[in-house]
Structure 1
């Protein structure tokens, strides 16, 4: 307070909320991040696509605070009002911290969903390849009596392990 009373120019109490700019590889990635941002309370967030196709996401909100306290060295507010403003600024800081934590959690969940989704896509591709492999093997068996039942079980066992490893490898 003493420093504020001794000021010879303008003094302003200012709080600025979290702002994050992210360059995204695809519009879909930007939309995923945007959904997480809006769900977390950053309702002023937006996506911009530049002339050269650069996709940028801005994560931001509007809960800032800027209040003049002195003008040309003259204190314009009471000490009680400054204490009130500090309480509000601290509340805004706490809310900002909570929004950042929510954004982080929403982002983690979105990335997990994306990983699971891509894992399912990879599994479908492997299953498709597995079906093709089995069909080719079965066609060969019909025409080649040299394929034994033991060899067929060995191949099926290897195929099954490959799929279960893909499904449960790093997810648990």
Structure 2
């Protein structure tokens, strides 16, 4: 526990390395909600965006330096020029204007919400994973790294990536670009709904799953990182098993695939 607390303190003490030097608006509430709990520490986030890029684009959420610029043009990062970035619904006119500056291969992308969270214990990550999947983020997963570092990634599959030009030559019609913008905006709206469901579901889950060491900080159970409501449920099941009223069942939590790639 002390090691996790030190790691969290070090992580949160780092300056925000994104261009905006601030959290994306729709992700900020979730980040603060999790970081207020001693068992969680967010490491990167993006609330979803539409990108017009020249060259290979960076993967979202690779670290703290996730770009969160809503009006920048000519943004250079990792061998890629971003002509347009917006975290709000896109406008076709902005896309056409940005394309006029392009001389290479341009790709139009929609990238949904992503969040990476360090968790103190596996059961903490399992709880987050359950809420994320129930909220529509079905590509979420858990990884366990060196030294037992547990990371929960909230991810979705409703992405969009379409090439528009090659060596500066536009390969699609303006009508098709208008269609793509419409599709991207629909995906953005669904992305916002999923973020809202995840936020509400997470608030309920955290309220229902208060760790024993939070309820009784000075008590004898402080060293046991067990969620109270889960312990009560297991105790009731064990009593029923002893009385013959309930047959033993497999623990569904133990069957969680740590590298789940659940597709919609």
- The TM-score bracket by the shorter chain reads 0.5 to 0.7
Contact 1:5 1:75 in 2 (8 A): no
**How does 1:31-50 map onto structure 2 within 5 Å?**
31-50=126-145
Gaps (5+ residues) in structure 2?
A: 1-95, 220-264
Residue 107 (structure 1) aligned with residue 217 (structure 2)? no
Query: Residue 116 of structure 2 aligns with which residue?
Result: 21
**How does 1:1-172 map onto structure 2 within 5 Å?**
1-5=96-100, 7-115=102-210, 118=212
| Residue 51 of structure 1, CA deviation | 2.5
Query: 1:64, 1:16 → 2: CA distance?
Result: 5
Gaps (5+ residues) in structure 1?
A: 126-172
Query: 1:6, 1:50 → 2: CA distance?
Result: 43
Alpha carbons of structure 1 residues 3 and 18: separation in structure 2 relative to 1, 3 Å: closer
Contact 1:37 1:43 in 2 (8 A): yes
Over aligned residues, Cα RMSD in angstroms?
A: 2.0
Which has the larger Rg? 1
| Residue 7 of structure 1, CA deviation | 2.7
TM-score by length of 1: 0.65
Query: Residue 150 of structure 1 aligns with which residue?
Result: none
Number of aligned residue pairs: give it.
Answer: 121
- Higher relative contact order by CA 8 Å / sep ≥ 6: 1 or 2? 1
SS at match of 1:87: helix
Contact 1:13 1:68 in 2 (8 A): yes
TM-score by length of 2: 0.43
